[in-house]
């Protein structure tokens, strides 16, 4: 059985406070795109096997969230061996959530293959044990993420007809280290309220708190954002803790491939 784990954008990311458990409470809009990895799982004789193609993964196999997702359900439901193949297109370390999406889709596929009968809400609980934003990819619709990113609230955001461009530099940003450098702030308008405004106003009102520290250390990432605005983006931002930057355009942006070359990793028109 095959699935296509989608990536996400963070539209706004407020880091509200540090929690007693060491994590941070946040608020963000998770928005799924059609940029995907490829994931295939089939039953196997013998032992479980994992293979991978496409972009290289920085972690060893045992640290891969796909394997962790399988092991999590195997402990609960005594699953038989499987063969897993992951084709990686979403760049690791980009803030696009590819690894989390792969993990969530592993849970979804295993639920289908072995007829476990788990609801999306139950799968989201398992996904939350694998990573803060994994649960979002069980639902794959625009949602406000709260707490660590695992508590969701429905939101009505209409981006139909807009074009998205994603630029990924070669810089790898350590998320834990980035969190440690951000000063949390609770006193401001909520992301949910801000994204209800016309997209033309987002540039002046919606922030990703990581940009304050990341741009100081990596001015090249800030330059990507500025270039997207210069090319007509109505809104541009880092996603997550980076290092990918996206632009939202009210038209099909031209010549971005000439400007960014291989760093332009995705373009799409939002269809609904």
Q: Give me the active site residues, please.
A: 8, 133
At residue 209, φ and ψ (nearest 5 deg) are -60, -25
How would you label 125-144 residue by residue, b for 16+ Cβ within 10 Å and e otherwise?
ebbbebbbbbbbbbbbebbb
- 215's tokens: 């741009």
Rounded to the nearest 5 percent, the helix, strand and coil shares of the chain are 35, 30, 40
Largest CA distance in the chain: 57
Distance CA 127, CA 104 (A): 6
CA distances (Å), origin 193, targets 145, 155, 230: 13, 10, 27
Residue 149, SS3?
coil
Residue 2, SS3?
strand
């Amino acid at each position: 059985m095959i699935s296509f784990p989608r990536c996400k954008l963070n539209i706004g990311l407020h880091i509200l406070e540090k929690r007693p458990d060491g994590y941070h409470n946040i608020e963000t809009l998770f928005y799924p795109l059609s940029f995907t990895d490829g994931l295939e799982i089939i039953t196997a004789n013998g032992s479980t096997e994992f293979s991978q193609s496409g972009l290289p993964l920085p972690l060893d196999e045992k640290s891969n969230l796909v394997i962790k997702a399988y092991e999590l359900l195997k402990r609960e439901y005594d699953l038989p061996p499987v063969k897993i193949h992951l084709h990686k297109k979403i760049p690791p370390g980009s803030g696009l959530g590819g690894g989390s999406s792969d993990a969530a889709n592993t849970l979804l596929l295993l639920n289908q293959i072995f007829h476990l009968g788990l609801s999306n809400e139950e799968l989201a609980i398992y996904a939350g044990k694998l990573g803060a934003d994994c649960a979002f990819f069980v639902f794959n619709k625009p949602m406000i993420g709260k707490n660590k990113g695992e508590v969701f609230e429905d939101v009505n955001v209409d981006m139909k007809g807009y074009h998205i461009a994603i630029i990924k530099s070669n810089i790898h940003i350590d998320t834990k280290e980035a969190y440690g450098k951000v000063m949390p702030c609770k006193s401001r308008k909520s992301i949910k309220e801000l994204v209800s405004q016309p997209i033309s106003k987002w540039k002046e009102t919606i922030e990703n708190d990581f940009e304050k520290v990341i741009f100081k250390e990596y001015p090249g990432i800030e330059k990507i954002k500025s270039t997207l605005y210069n090319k007509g983006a109505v809104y541009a931002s880092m996603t997550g803790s980076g290092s990918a930057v996206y632009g939202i355009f009210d038209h099909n942006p031209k010549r971005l491939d000439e400007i960014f070359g291989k760093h332009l990793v995705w373009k799409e028109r939002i269809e609904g």
